[in-house]
Amino acid sequence: MKNPRFTVLAALILLALAIPLANARTWNDNQGNDNSNRTTGAVYIMTNDPAGNQVIRYDRANDGSLAFSGKFSTGGLGATGLTGSNQGGLVLSSNGRTLLVVNAGSNDISIFQVHQNILSLTDKTSSHGIMPISLTLHNRLVYVLNAGGKDSVGNIAGYKLDSEGELTPIAGSVQPLSGITAPAQISFNPQGTVLVVTEKTTNKIDTYTVNGDGVASAPISHASSGNTPFGFAFSNRGTLIVSEAAGGTLSSYSVSNAGSLTTISGSVPDNQLAPCWVVVTENSKYAYTTNAHSGTISSYTVDRNGVIHLLQSIAATTGSGDIDMALTRNSGYLYVSIISSQSTQGYKVHDDGSLSWVTTITGVPAGADGLAAD
């Protein structure tokens, strides 16, 4: 027969051990149930400082709020006059693990690998032109858009990105723009077979076909539907949606494998001033543009056939000088850079395309450029 005193003592020891374990489990469960402040992604912007360019990372929580995480040197230089002139100065890979950044003042490109909340600089290489302003990435192919100087024609140049985060130039990939102009953006179509470049002062949209080796063809220039084609984005069905800053309009186009453009919706007004930056949601149902002179965001619906319709002329009011935009990978949140208030604002994207404000981060350096999010 067991000694009763030993039985009671053993029970007390087990109870003493169980209480802290239960408390720890309850604390952990509560932490797991409170997802509002858990880091689930990040937003990136570059300082574009002519004395030394840096990337600023903000951690993104489940509720869309942002918190400063760190600054990381690109090893290159920013440039006065870049801010507000371009789209795509920072580009994030689809898996969020590689970040590409232009250094407009030193004519080179920096590559970072993302490890949790740390950016590791893996390469910095020449842009093969003057004043790189925009980048695009498709699988392992990278192209950069060089704006050129006031007396020189801009160009594009291609690279292959390896698994170590280093770039190798593609022979024969350097191609000119249509002339001396003010380009805004370069991007691949979803298939990676055509590159598109917008030229603001010539009112042209250039296309370049890309062969299996990643080599771009000579440019094919097309007249834009409206004046000052600026930022643009593709739907996942390949519809090209372009802002027209001078006219307060957006147009949509189909793009053939041969690089030809066909207008689908020509110059649909948003009734705002200077729409310049464009993003399209992952499901391709909605497009948004920032209106820099109105301080607003406008929203459009996108039909399956590429026809666009104005949804809300003012989907959100940001304050004047709203420029770059970025959607998270699942398009749950939209982030906007505001140069007048040196801030970044975040909005929840609802199923009906409407937006609601969720966060504002202040203290963004003057002259900052580009925006990327995951």
Structural element, H or E, at residue 138? strand 132-138
Mean pLDDT of the chain: 91
Quote the DSSP letter at residue 364: P
Burial of 351 (0-12, 13-18, 19+ CB in 10 A): exposed
In the predicted structure, residue 164 carries a pLDDT above the cut 90 = yes
Q: Are 83 and 339 within 8 A, CB to CB? A: yes
Quote the DSSP letter at residue 225: S
β pairing state of 204-209 and 220-223: antiparallel
Q: What is the largest CA-CA distance in the chain?
A: 102
What does the pLDDT read at residue 18? 41
Residues 259-315: tens digit of each pLDDT: 999 999 999 999 999 999 999 999 999 999 999 999 999 999 999 999 999 999 999
Q: Are 342 and 366 within 8 A, CB to CB? A: yes
Q: Quote the CA–CA distance of 45 and 313 in Å, as a whole number.
A: 27
CA-wise closest residue to 247 among 267, 277, 222: 267
- Which residues on adjacent β-strands are paired with residue 132? 146
Q: Quote the CA–CA distance of 33 and 104 in Å, as a whole number.
A: 45
pLDDT-derived band at 149 (thresholds 50, 70, 90) equals confident
In the predicted structure, residue 172 carries a pLDDT above the cut 90 = yes
Identify residue 211 by its one-letter amino acid code. N
pLDDT-derived band at 361 (thresholds 50, 70, 90) equals very high
Burial of 317 (0-12, 13-18, 19+ CB in 10 A): exposed
* % of the chain beyond a pLDDT of 90: 89
CA-wise closest residue to 141 among 100, 175, 96, 102: 100
- For the chain, the distance separating the N- and C-terminal CA atoms, rounded to the nearest angstrom, is 66
pLDDT-derived band at 150 (thresholds 50, 70, 90) equals confident
- What is the average per-residue pLDDT within 15-36? 37
What does the pLDDT read at residue 9? 38
Answer left, alpha or beta for residue 131, where phi above 0 means left and psi between -120 and 50 means alpha.
left
DSSP 242-290: EEETTTTEEEEEEE-TTS-EEEEEEEEE-SSS-EEEEEE-TTSSEEEEE
Q: What are phi and psi of 4, to 5 degrees?
A: -60, -35
CA angle 191, 196, 197 (to 5 degrees): 160
CA-wise closest residue to 321 among 353, 266, 280, 273: 273
Q: What are phi and psi of 319, to 5 degrees?
A: 100, 155
> Residue ranges per domain, the chain?
224-365
- Which residues on adjacent β-strands are paired with residue 91? 100
Burial of 47 (0-12, 13-18, 19+ CB in 10 A): buried
Q: Quote the CA–CA distance of 97 and 122 in Å, as a whole number.
A: 12
Residues 59-86: tens digit of each pLDDT: 999 999 999 999 999 999 999 999 999 9
pLDDT-derived band at 37 (thresholds 50, 70, 90) equals low
Place of tokens 């504002």: 360
What does the pLDDT read at residue 39? 76
pLDDT-derived band at 8 (thresholds 50, 70, 90) equals very low
Q: Are 189 and 196 within 8 A, CB to CB? A: yes
In the predicted structure, residue 46 carries a pLDDT above the cut 90 = yes
Q: Quote the CA–CA distance of 72 and 79 in Å, as a whole number.
A: 17
Place of tokens 């390896």: 162
In the predicted structure, residue 33 carries a pLDDT above the cut 60 = no
pTM tops 0.95, yes or no = no
CA-wise closest residue to 80 among 112, 45, 47: 47
In the predicted structure, residue 130 carries a pLDDT above the cut 70 = yes
Q: What are phi and psi of 145, to 5 degrees?
A: -110, 120
CATH number of this structure's domain 224-365: 2.130.10.10
Place of tokens 């007048």: 340
Within 10 Å of residue 256's Cβ, how many Cβ atoms?
Answer: 14
